[in-house]
A and B are shown apart, each in its own frame.
Chain A
Amino acid sequence: GNSVTQMEGPVTLSEEAFLTINCTYTATGYPSLFWYVQYPGEGLQLLLKATKADDKGSNKGFEATYRKETTSFHLEKGSVQVSDSAVYFCALSNDYKLSFGAGTTVTVRA
């Protein structure tokens, strides 16, 4: 079956710090990989995606590269802002279903 493991939080950073959230997966076939973000009191929004090996997804300064050899999809941002405080979910899909990681809470202090 499919499973996603992401680093546990919470993560607390200062503004302009570098953010990395690790994500690894187990899946059959060739899944698509995603990062979703959940801002306080809101639903999930798709942050970025990658549909095949070596693809790099990017959005709002965040990046993640689909690494098939290490079954990983780590999220990075070079300089975080207070507005990036949220819960981040790694997810995969190799059919019509999404499988999520447990989520990582990120708090950015001014």
Chain B
Amino acid sequence: EAQVTQNPRYLITVTGKKLTVTCSQNMNHEYMSWYRQDPGLGLRQIYYSMNVEVTDKGDVPEGYKVSRKEKRNFPLILESPSPNQTSLYFCASSLSPGGIGVYNEQFFGPGTRLTVL
């Protein structure tokens, strides 16, 4: 089954304790992205990756890191989590980045609910 998977689905942690949220897709997609969803703000892009070893900042990258060593995986790293990073996180992937006038549908993972105490 074609899908985007995320782990863990739920995580409660404490301030300053490094964590990683994994994201994996089995569709051979080039483009992957991380979003956070907060009430009243919709989804905001954190980081994205056009392909292996190519990553760039989205709208809200502060406090996050990513890596893209393999095409299928795009982990999100919080080196020193803080309470303002409590949120619902989504990973998404698409066949290719698309471009002006060209949009490739993004497929979303089920989400990771993170609470930082």
Residues of A within 8 A of B (CB): 4, 29-30, 32, 34, 41-46, 49, 51, 89, 93-98, 100-103
Sampled A-B contacts (14; CB under 8 Å) = A4-B42, A32-B101, A43-B90, A43-B92, A44-B92, A45-B108, A93-B103, A96-B50, A96-B97, A96-B98, A96-B99, A97-B58, A98-B106, A100-B42
What number of residue pairs across chains A and B have CB atoms under 8 A from each other? 57
Which residues from chain B sit less than 8 Å from chain A, CB to CB? Answer: 4, 31, 37, 40-45, 48, 50, 58, 90, 92, 97-101, 103, 105-106, 108-111
Query: For the complex, would chain A's binding face be called helix, strand, loop or mixed by DSSP majority?
Result: loop
Residue contact A30 to B101, C-beta cutoff 8 Å: yes
Q: A44-B90, A51-B103 are in contact. Are A89 and B98 (CB under 8 A)?
A: no
